[in-house]
Amino acid sequence: MRAAPSQEEVRRQNLGALLRYVHVHGATSRAELTTSLGLNRSTIGALTAELTAAGLVSERAPRETGRAGRPSLVVRPESARVYAYACSIEVDTLRAARVGLGGVVLDRRELVRTPGLPAEESVPVLAGFVKEMHQTVPEGSVYVGAGVAVCGMMRGDHGAVHVHPPQGWVDGSLGPALATDLDSNRPVLVNRAADVSALAEHTRGAAAGLENVIYLHHDVGVDAGIIVGGRRLTGHGGYGGEVGHMVVNRGGHPCGCGSHGCWETEIGEHALLQAAGRDGATGPGAARAVVEAAAYGDATAQTAVRQVGDWLGFGVANLVNIFNPDVVIFGGPLRDIYLAAATRVRSRINAVALPAIRDHVRLRTPQLGEEAALIGAAELAFGQLLADPLDAAA
């Protein structure tokens, strides 16, 4: 029931729309911008001039087209100059990168992380990475903010972070800590890895251009970044997407959450290792080893992969009935399991999901691979700039 924007808001919204277009699509001619944004040529010219003056885009003549007439100028994002920091706290890795407008990774650092390390102890490491990268930033560059992807479960964009067991429920405050370490008042936005990975794939990956997306993620548990009608499903308190705790096997294995037969007890790494008779093994490498053993003909491993693939398809079928999505993306270790058991997953979906719904759903693996969370964290930071380019770049 909000009233319409004022003229000044309209201008900022148009600046944001143009900047977002080149951020997502890269160098774009003025002619294409005119068509795609539905604005007239003089407006596109004026907006481009403002964004150029702010140092956010640059214009140049295109290469010779061979066509008659004056060629349309090409607008490109100032990727080398305008940047965000992106951090990702994963189960076994800490990553940080300097990412230029347009999603270009300009610099990066990573460190193998002791699993179970409390989230707060990751903060000084990541801040150190950022300081290191910061020393080589060319003069005249524009820092727009930072984004952090966190494995586990968390609440809110700025505030308290609850990291999932087995790391303990930590009520840390990553955002403010990083802001202090970066010595900047630019925003530091923190979100779940599942959500930022979904954002990344939706912006420039396997879900680009699709409105209804389920990105399945597996780190300490199984959850999902869900996009409904082009917008992120957050729910009341930011906890939406806890699909790993959908009970699929009533009376099944006990789950860390206190319930039984949660989806993550059937499709998680632990389930795969247990089914393969490798209870003692740990880490993402261990799960991958089972999938590889299956590929090389190990019968026990093959049975384990089929069993987990079966439950994977079963839970996806439920989500497909509930959401009628355009695409389901299998992220993290679920990627390998999906690829090894794709026929099983699809056949389970065909058995359980309604025909009108299942026919349209695409099953995909992430296009951005293990970088998805990092790229998504940068998108979080760029989100502020794209919402109001002149203010955020000031």
What phi-psi label fits residue 67: left (phi over 0), alpha (psi between -120 and 50 degrees) or beta? beta
Q: 151 to 180, contacts with its own copies by CB under 8 A? A: 153, 155, 162
In whole angstroms, the minimum distance from the beta carbon of 392 to its own copies comes to: 17
Closest CA to 367 of 327, 325, 337, 321: 327
Contact pick of 46, 73, 257, 390 for its own copies (by CB under 8 A): 257
Cα end-to-end distance, the chain, whole Å:
31
Q: Quick check: 132 binds its own copies (CB under 8 A)? A: no
Contact pick of 73, 105, 137, 247 for its own copies (by CB under 8 A): 247
Contact pick of 93, 141, 321, 365 for its own copies (by CB under 8 A): 321
The structure tokens listed for 65 are 């087209």
Amino acid letter, 259: S
Cα four-point dihedral sign 239, 240, 241, 243:
positive
Residues 134/83, Cβ–Cβ less than 8 Å: no
By CB under 8 A, the count of residues binding its own copies is 69
- In sequence order, the 6+-apart residues with CB closer than 8 A to the CB of 121 are none
Q: Quick check: 357 binds its own copies (CB under 8 A)? A: yes
Which lies closer to its own copies via its Cβ, residue 146 or residue 327?
327
Which lies closer to its own copies via its Cβ, residue 58 or residue 249?
249
Contact pick of 129, 323, 330, 338 for its own copies (by CB under 8 A): 323
Which lies closer to its own copies via its Cβ, residue 130 or residue 385?
385
Q: Quick check: 35 binds its own copies (CB under 8 A)? A: no
Residues 331/366, Cβ–Cβ less than 8 Å: yes
Q: Which stretch binds its own copies (CB under 8 A): 32-40, 63-71, 89-97, 296-304?
A: 32-40
Q: Quick check: 360 binds its own copies (CB under 8 A)? A: yes
Q: Quick check: 56 binds its own copies (CB under 8 A)? A: no
Contact pick of 150, 353, 368, 375 for its own copies (by CB under 8 A): 353
Contact pick of 237, 296, 297, 299 for its own copies (by CB under 8 A): 237
Per-residue DSSP letter, 245: G
The structure tokens listed for 209 are 């251009």
Q: Quick check: 41 binds its own copies (CB under 8 A)? A: no
Residue whose tokens read 């719904």: 357
The structure tokens listed for 275 are 């089914």
In whole angstroms, the minimum distance from the beta carbon of 53 to its own copies comes to: 19
Q: Quick check: 68 binds its own copies (CB under 8 A)? A: no
Q: Quick check: 369 binds its own copies (CB under 8 A)? A: no
How many Å apart are CA 260 and CA 271, to the nearest integer? 13
Opening angle at CA 191, ends 189 and 197, nearest 5 = 115
Residues 246/261, Cβ–Cβ less than 8 Å: no
Which lies closer to its own copies via its Cβ, residue 69 or residue 229?
229
Label the pairing between strands 142-150 and 188-192: parallel
Q: Quick check: 39 binds its own copies (CB under 8 A)? A: yes
Residues 192/261, Cβ–Cβ less than 8 Å: no
Question: What residue ranges bind its own copies (CB under 8 A)?
Answer: 1-7, 9-14, 17-18, 20-21, 24, 36-39, 153, 155, 162, 211-212, 228-229, 231-243, 245-250, 257-259, 314, 317-319, 321-326, 351-354, 356-357, 360-361
